[in-house]
Amino acid sequence: MRINDLDTPVVVVDVDVMERNLRRAADYTRRHGLALRPHTKTHKTPEIARRQVELGAPGIAVAKVGEAEVMADAGLDDILIAYPQVGAQKMHRLMALCERARVRVALDSEESATQIARAAAAAGHTIGILVEVDTGMRRCGLPIGPELVALCRKVRDLPGLEFLGVQVYQGHVRGALAEREKHLVEENARLRRLYDTLSSASLSCAVISGGSTPNLAQSHLLDGLTEVRPGTYVFNDRNTIETGACAMEDVALHVIATVVSTAVSGQAIIDGGSKTFSSDLVHGSAERGHGIAVEDPGVFITRMNEEHGVLDLGAATREYRVGDRVTIVPNHVCTVVNLHDQLALHRAGEVVGAYRVAGRGKLR
């Protein structure tokens, strides 16, 4: 069966491109002595996580305990939950997870550290902790300073916890080459300040975990990293292309949709909208729309509702008729995968299998 025989909208993954993406990152990190701990948020698929480990990853990263459980069910046994954990239910599940996998957790508050320590000590576990530091994303992570030092010491001293090091997320180091190099220089200045602060406080870090897909190929230029946690590189997407981190031919995942209406002139409606693609924008720009047509790259989804994607045909080089199929590179592949229960696998358009997205919708 060909992918063009599959009913739409459908997510298809080119296994050869995916394998090339996985190998390229594995080879690169091996060459530079970096541990590659892929964030599985992008694929949420145990089969792909296992392949990443086969290619050399010491373990994986996830955001939620529920994602960790899915991966542990599939035999993944070294899991970083790269997201702060709080609350009784989370502690309970975290301890159960420790029975069957080596679990590390990132956190940035005394509250989270104390809760995990109490649960771990009671259960007889020792959980490796990365303290999260904010170097520019302004999301999670303490600023470099006394509060960070105090939390690292707390983690080092609490029974049930093992202070492993720090976690940063460097999604802000991106952009075209000149811009990215400027960001790299700035980021390295912050990293050196971080290392100075930690070593002045006699805090020794076995792990400095950072990186992200937009700067994956520059990870060795980020001072002192021991580990990187890219996610998107497995599939890539329009965002990755636009950050300059990959080319169109490195995109492994596409959405095939069908034109269902051409009734309003100048546009074609495809049978997928935000329920298929998510509403994520390209770098926050509504003008850039929601995905580009592979066969006709001047054409993109200019607006959408849940089930309607509007292709503006102003720059079209072909005719669009009801029933025609369109192959779309989505803006943000992670949120696309989370909307689909299955990924169809193909090799040059021939369907060769399917993966169930077992980690989809694991919100907790």
Q: Residues with Cβ < 8 Å from 68, sequence gap 6 or more?
A: 62, 79, 81, 97, 101, 103
Nearer to a second copy, 23 or 139 (CB): 139
From the list 53-61, 156-164, 182-190, 321-329, the region that binds a second copy by CB under 8 A is: 321-329
CA dist 62 and 71 (Å) reads 9
Question: From the list 286, 295, 298, 349, which residue makes contact with a second copy (rule: CB under 8 A)?
Answer: 286
CA dist 13 and 353 (Å) reads 10
Subset of residues 12 to 71 that bind a second copy, contact rule: CB under 8 A = 41, 63-64
Shortest Å distance, C-beta 305 to a second copy: 7
117 binds a second copy (CB under 8 A): no
CA dist 236 and 332 (Å) reads 8
CA dist 99 and 77 (Å) reads 10
Contact letters for a second copy, residues 242-271 (x by CB under 8 A): ----------------x-xxxxx--x-x-x
Question: Which token pair is 76?
Answer: 């993944």
Question: From the list 159, 284, 287, 319, which residue makes contact with a second copy (rule: CB under 8 A)?
Answer: 284
Shortest Å distance, C-beta 262 to a second copy: 7
Q: Is 151 exposed, middle or buried (0-12, 13-18, 19+ CB in 10 A)?
A: buried
315 binds a second copy (CB under 8 A): no
Torsion of the alpha carbons at 163, 168, 169 and 175, rounded to the nearest 10: -160
Nearer to a second copy, 153 or 308 (CB): 308
CA dist 111 and 87 (Å) reads 10
Nearer to a second copy, 56 or 136 (CB): 136
Shortest Å distance, C-beta 41 to a second copy: 6
Contact 349, 17 (CB under 8 A): no
Question: Which token pair is 95?
Answer: 């301890």
219 binds a second copy (CB under 8 A): no
289 binds a second copy (CB under 8 A): no
Shortest Å distance, C-beta 227 to a second copy: 20
Amino acid, single-letter form, for residue 102: R
CA dist 254 and 13 (Å) reads 7
Shortest Å distance, C-beta 174 to a second copy: 14
CA dist 206 and 216 (Å) reads 21
Nearer to a second copy, 295 or 306 (CB): 306
Question: From the list 150, 306, 314, 350, which residue makes contact with a second copy (rule: CB under 8 A)?
Answer: 306
Nearer to a second copy, 88 or 177 (CB): 88
Q: Is the peptide bond before 9 cis (omega within 30 degrees of 0)?
A: yes
Q: Is 146 exposed, middle or buried (0-12, 13-18, 19+ CB in 10 A)?
A: exposed
Neighbours of 99 (CB within 10 A): 10
89 binds a second copy (CB under 8 A): yes
Question: From the list 122, 206, 322, 348, which residue makes contact with a second copy (rule: CB under 8 A)?
Answer: 322
Angle of helix 65-73 relative to helix 46-54, nearest 10 degrees? 70
Pairing of strands 267-270, 253-261: antiparallel
Shortest Å distance, C-beta 243 to a second copy: 15
From the list 94-102, 158-166, 300-308, 343-351, the region that binds a second copy by CB under 8 A is: 300-308
What does the binding site for a second copy look like in residue numbers (CB under 8 A)?
7-10, 41, 63-64, 83-87, 89-90, 108-109, 111-112, 132, 134, 138-143, 147, 258, 260-264, 267, 269, 271-272, 274-276, 278-281, 284, 286, 305-308, 310, 321-323, 334-335, 338-341, 361, 363-364
